[in-house]
Amino acid sequence: MSTRGWYEYYVVDEGRKELALAFQFYKWGDATPENAIGEVETLRALTRKLNGKVPVQHVHELLRDNLGPAFDHLPAEFPLGGYYFLLQRAAEEHRLYPFRSWRGADLPREERPDYKLGFEVGEAAVARGFRIPRTGDPVIDSAHFSIAVGMLVRRWEACSTELNFLTWLQFITQITREVDMGCIAGHYERPWDVSFLYRFMFRVPSLTDVDQRVKRIDVELCTGGGAPLLPTSRRAKRRADADADVELDAPERAELRRLLASSRIARAALDELRTTHRLLTSPFWERRLPRGPYLGP
C-alpha cells in the first residue's frame, strides 16, 4: 500500500515575527517520514549551492507575466514556496529519470517528449529573447527550465480553462500531461487519505522579492490528523497518543530522532511558533478571492 502525505511550506519571517503558508501539495507513493527528512536535506543542499540566496525573482517574473493583476492576490510568501516546489519536483524527476526515460526509448529523438518540449522552449526563447538562468547544477537548472516552460510555451491563459492555478504549476514541471506518483500540486485542502503531514519551515531574515536569503529549513513531522510524530511536550504527547491515524512504535520514533540528529535538521512546531510569530491568513488559500481575479476552475 502506498504511503500518502500532505506537505505544507511555511515561511518564517524573523524580522517581522510572522509566519505564513507559502505552498502546499499532496504526495502519494513514498511519502514516509524518512523520505520527508531526506527531502529537507535535499532542499538544504540546493540552498547551499545557491549560496543561501534563492533567486525568487524568477518566480515573481513567471507569475506576474502570466497572471497580470491577479498576481497581487497571491500571498507574499507564495513565490518563495513556489520556487522550492519547483526544486522539489526537479529533484524528484532527476532521481526517477532512469525509471521514466524508457517510455520514449524506442522513439526517434525528434519524437521523444523531452526532446520536443526542449526544442519548443528553445525555439520560443530565441524568438522572445528570453534567457533561461543556468547555474551548472542539473536540479536547479531543471527547476529554472520549468520556469521557462511556463513563461514561453505553457502559458496560464491557455491552460486556465481546464486546470486550476496550482495544477498549472504542476504541469510546467512535467514533460507530458501524465501525472505519476510523487509530488502533486493542485489541492487547496488536505485530502482525506493522507497518513502523514509534513510542515517545512523556511526561515528568512526578512521577506524580499529578489535573491531571498534562507537561513535554515526546519521540519515538523505529523500524523495525517496533525498530531506531532515526535512530541516535545506532555500536551503534544497526549495529543499524539490520542491520534490513531498512524501508529509508530518506540523504535520507529527513535529512528526518526536519530535521522534528524544526524542530518542536523531542527524540529519545528507550528503551535509553538504561533506563540512568538503572528500567523498570517490568506484569501487565496481559503478560496475567498474577489470575483475579478481569475485563478482557475
pLDDT attached to residue 278: 97
Residue 256 clears pLDDT 80, i.e. is over it: yes
Residues of the chain with pLDDT > 90, as a percent, come to: 68
Which is higher by pLDDT, 210 or 290?
210
pLDDT attached to residue 290: 79
Q: State the average pLDDT over residues 136-144.
A: 96
Residue 251 clears pLDDT 90, i.e. is over it: no
**Please, which residues have CB within 8 angstroms of residue 255's CB and are 6 or more apart in sequence?**
34
pLDDT attached to residue 296: 75
pLDDT attached to residue 12: 98
The three-state secondary structure class of 263 is helix
Residue 236 clears pLDDT 80, i.e. is over it: no
List the grid coordinates of 83.
Answer: 520556487
What are the pLDDT digits (tens) for 141-178? 999 999 999 999 999 999 999 999 999 999 999 998 87
Distance CA 117, CA 119 (A): 5
**Which H or E run includes 81?**
helix 78-100
pLDDT attached to residue 243: 55
Residue 232 clears pLDDT 70, i.e. is over it: no
**Please, which residues have CB within 8 angstroms of residue 24's CB and are 6 or more apart in sequence?**
6, 7, 8, 9, 187, 188, 190, 285
List the grid coordinates of 181.
Answer: 506518483
Residue 133 — pLDDT band, cuts 50, 70, 90?
confident
Structural domain spans, the chain:
3-280
Distance CA 63, CA 147 (A): 9
Q: State the average pLDDT over residues 230-253.
A: 65
Scanning the structure block, which residue is given the C-alpha cell 540552498? 47
Phi/psi at 280 (nearest 5 deg)? -85, 140
Residue 181 clears pLDDT 80, i.e. is over it: no
What are the pLDDT digits (tens) for 265-284? 999 999 999 999 999 999 99
Strands of 127-240, DSSP E:
182-184, 196-204, 212-213, 216-223
What are the pLDDT digits (tens) for 71-129? 999 999 999 999 999 999 999 998 876 556 556 667 787 778 888 999 999 999 999 99
Distance CA 188, CA 255 (A): 32
Residue 233 clears pLDDT 80, i.e. is over it: no
The three-state secondary structure class of 20 is strand
pLDDT attached to residue 291: 72
What are the pLDDT digits (tens) for 56-75? 999 999 999 999 999 999 99
Strands of the chain, DSSP E:
3-13, 18-29, 53-54, 182-184, 196-204, 212-213, 216-223, 278-280
List the grid coordinates of 130.
Answer: 528570453
